Amino acid sequence: MNPSDTSPAQESDALNDSAVTRYLEAHPDFFVERDQLLMSLRIPNPRGEAVSLMDRQIALLRERNVENRRLIDDFKRNALRNEAIFHSVKALVLALVRSKDADAFYAALAVGLRDELGFTVGLLYVSETDQHAERMNDIVYRYPMREMPRFYVAHFKQHDTFMGPLRDDERAWLFPEDSSDGDTPSSAAVIALDRSPLTLLALGHAESGYFNSQLDNTLLSLMTDVMALILPRYRPTDV
């Protein structure tokens, strides 16, 4: 017998899901001119009666259309949020540059970061002296190094920025006036603006994952670079 002569049963045995899938992928026009076959195919439906292949295709296209609309809506929302952040950061940078004295500088920080961008704000001067912790104004604090959380002591010896969730001791140290509020910060971005003395800008947010994905880091870098340049003019002389 010719080896190429195979019975229908043998051909059926040679077929499997992968072979059928590969054939249909290689011949996407297979159902053209095969309307009866297309209409006769049925797909099990866990929610009721079996549906035709065409009905299933239409349902899949509708589902994908809904998902695509959701992705487009998310993209639009993100674009609008980033545009709002850009304008707020721009206004803050201009206000910092125009500051004539320390009061105006720190007021611009408070308005721009807290009132416009919605962050909990702390500007912390960390001193090697034995002085006591002190609140210097609405957002500025002075601390002795011995009160700095151990994690930050080790982290800022090697890094300039921390972004992530907050532990209780870190929250209480960064934002002592907000540690008992209902809208307590759950995450923070902490940036070293200077090393002598160690000067940290802390931005807190109620969402625990906010600083992992949602904040435009380019704008944050621009803002902190400007702050680092201007801050020495208005740093208290006794820190």
**What is the model's pLDDT at position 14?**
62
What is the model's pLDDT at position 43? 67
Instruction: Report all structural domains of the chain as residue ranges with CATH numbers, in order of start.
Output: 16-59 (no CATH), 72-234 (3.30.450.40)
- What's the token pair of residue 206? 């109620």
Q: What does residue 70 show for φ and ψ, rounded to 5 degrees?
A: -65, -45
The DSSP output letter for 212 is: H
38, 53 Cβ separation under 8 angstroms: yes
pLDDT at 48: 60
Q: Pick out the chain residues at pLDDT < 50.
A: 1-4, 6, 9-10, 181
Task: Give 25's Cβ-side CA count (13 Å radius).
Answer: 6
The pLDDT assigned to 179 comes to 52
Closest CA to 112 of 230, 232, 238: 230
pLDDT of residue 138: 83
Distance separating alpha carbons of residues 185 and 205, to the nearest angstrom: 5
Express each pLDDT in 150-182 by its tens digit. Answer: 999 999 999 999 998 999 999 999 998 765 545
- How far apart are alpha carbons 188 and 121 in whole angstroms? 10
Q: State how far the Cα of 149 lies from the Cα of 177, in Å rounded to an integer.
A: 17
Residue 43 φ/ψ, nearest 5 degrees: -115, 125
> Tell me, what DSSP letter sits at residue 133?
P
Q: What is the pTM of this model?
A: 0.64
CA–CA separation, 36 and 53 (whole Å): 12
C-alpha distances in Å from residue 42, one per residue of 23, 35, 50, 86: 19, 13, 6, 53
pLDDT in tens, 82-103: 788 888 889 999 999 999 999 9
Instruction: Look at residue 61 in the predicted model and tell me its pLDDT.
Output: 80
Helices of type H across 125-209:
150-158, 168-174
Q: How many helices (H) and strands (E) does the chain have?
A: 9, 8
Q: What is the pLDDT of residue 3?
A: 47
